[in-house]
Amino acid sequence: MVTVLVILVVAVWCCSLVFGRTFYPPSDVWRVITGEQVSGASFTVGRLRLPRATLGLICGFSFGLGGVVFQTMLRNPLASPDIIGISSGASAAAVFSIVSLSLGGAAVSALAIVAALAVALLVFALSWKGGVAGTRLILIGIGVAAMLTACINWELSRADSWNTQEAMRWLTGSLNSATWTDVTLVAVAVVIFVPVLLSQSRDLSTTQLGDDTAAALGVRVSRTRLVIVVAAVGLIAFATAAAGPVAFVAFLSGPVAGRLAGPGTSLLIPAALVGALLVLVADFCGQFAFDTRYPVGVVTGVLGAPYLIYLIIRTNRAGGSL
C-alpha cells in the first residue's frame, strides 16, 4: 500500500508540473529541474509550478503525519489539529500580526509557529487530570478554538481592506504564493521531526492499549507523550506557517489511510502520503477543475466537512461517544 501511495503522490506531483494553462512536455520539465534554461518553461515551471507542487507535497505530508499521531495517541478520530485548536492558535497569531502589527513574511510565520506550540501546551495542561483523556482534551480544544476564532473575527472586523484580504488568504490555506523559502522552512521541520515521530512509532502504538498496560510493557508514557506532542505540533506548526491552515487534511488522512492499510498496520507513513496526495489533488483541482480558481483550503474544506458530519452521525447511531 505504501508503494502504491508513493507512486500516486509522485505521479500527481509530476502532473502538477506538466499540466496547467500551458502544457509543457516532460522532457522540458526535466530540463528545467536539472537546471537548464528552457524558454517559457524556466519561469512557469521553475518559478511557479515547481515550488508550489513541492510545498503542497511536504505540507500535506506534514499535516497527514501530525494528524494521525494525535488521533492514534488519543484514540479518537476527532483529535486532529483542526479540531483541538492548534491550527486556530496559528491562525489567530497570524491574523494579529498582519492586522495589528502590520507584519508580513517570515515574521508572520514565526509568530504562527510559536502560537501553535503555545496553544497545544495550553490545551494539554488544561485537560490534564492524572493523565490526558481524549474526550476531555477534545472538548477543551474545541472551546479554546472557539475563543481563538472569536479573536480572529474581532481582528478582521477592525482591519482595513488590504489587511483583510491578506489575512483571509492566509486563513483559507493557499499555495498561491509558494516560494523556495517556504519549501525550505517546512523541509527543515520534516527532517527534524519526522525521524523523532517514527522512532516513537512502537511506543505510540503501545499507548493505545491504555496507560497502565503500556507502562507495564516498559513504555515511559508521560515522556513518550511529551516527545510525540512536541514533534507533531512542530511539524503541523511549520506546515501551517508556510501554507496556512489547510482545512481537514490532518483530520482526513488518518481515517483514509486506515481504510486503505487495514487493521494492525502502522498508519504514520500511509497517513502522511495520503495527506500529500490530498493536498496535491485538491490544489490541482482548485486551479483547473472549475471556472474560478480556488485556494487549496477551499477544496479540502468541501471534502472534509461532509466527512466530519458523517463521522459524528455514524458514532451517534452506533451508540458510541466521541
Residue-wise pLDDT tens digits, 84-116: 888 888 889 988 988 888 887 778 888 888 988
Side chain identity at 224, as an amino acid letter?
Answer: T
- With a CB cutoff of 8 Å and minimum separation 6, the contacts of 128 are none
- 93 touches 112 (CB < 8 A): yes
Q: How confident is the model at residue 317 (pLDDT cuts 50, 70, 90)?
A: low
Give me the pLDDT at residue 86, please: 85
All domains of the chain in start order, with CATH? 52-318 (1.10.3470.10)
- Write the CA distances from 229 to 86, 120, 142, 234, 251, integer angstroms: 11, 8, 18, 8, 16
Q: How confident is the model at residue 132 (pLDDT cuts 50, 70, 90)?
A: low
Q: Is the pLDDT of residue 292 over 90?
A: no
Q: What is the pLDDT of residues 159-174, one digit of tens each?
A: 887 788 888 878 888 8
**pLDDT cut 90: percent of the chain above it:** 24
* Distance from the Cα of residue 55 to its chain's centroid: 12
Q: Is the pLDDT of residue 302 over 80?
A: yes
Give me the pLDDT at residue 7, please: 94
**pLDDT cut 70: percent of the chain above it:** 93
More confident residue, 128 or 96: 96
Q: Is the pLDDT of residue 195 over 90?
A: yes
Q: Is the pLDDT of residue 77 over 90?
A: no
Mean pLDDT of 47-59: 94
How many C-beta atoms lie closer than 10 Å to residue 312's C-beta?
A: 13
Give me the pLDDT at residue 161, please: 78
pTM score over 0.75: yes
Give me the pLDDT at residue 52, please: 94
Q: Is the pLDDT of residue 320 over 60?
A: no
The residue among 222, 72, 76, 97 whose CA lies nearest residue 151 is 97
Report the sign of the C-alpha dihedral through residues 61, 233, 146, 124, in that order.
positive
Give me the pLDDT at residue 316, please: 63
Q: Is the pLDDT of residue 221 over 80?
A: no
Q: Is the pLDDT of residue 257 over 80?
A: yes
Q: Say how far apart CA 244 and CA 167 lie, in whole Å.
A: 10
| Cell numbers linked to 63 | 499535516
Mean pLDDT of 46-70: 93
Q: What is the pLDDT of residues 241-253, one digit of tens each?
A: 888 889 889 888 8
Average pLDDT, the chain: 85
SS3 label, residue 132: strand
Give me the pLDDT at residue 58, please: 96
- Going through the chain in order, the beta strands assigned E by DSSP cover none
Mean pLDDT of 210-231: 77
Q: How confident is the model at residue 315 (pLDDT cuts 50, 70, 90)?
A: low
Q: What is the pLDDT of residues 171-189, one digit of tens each?
A: 888 898 888 988 998 999 9
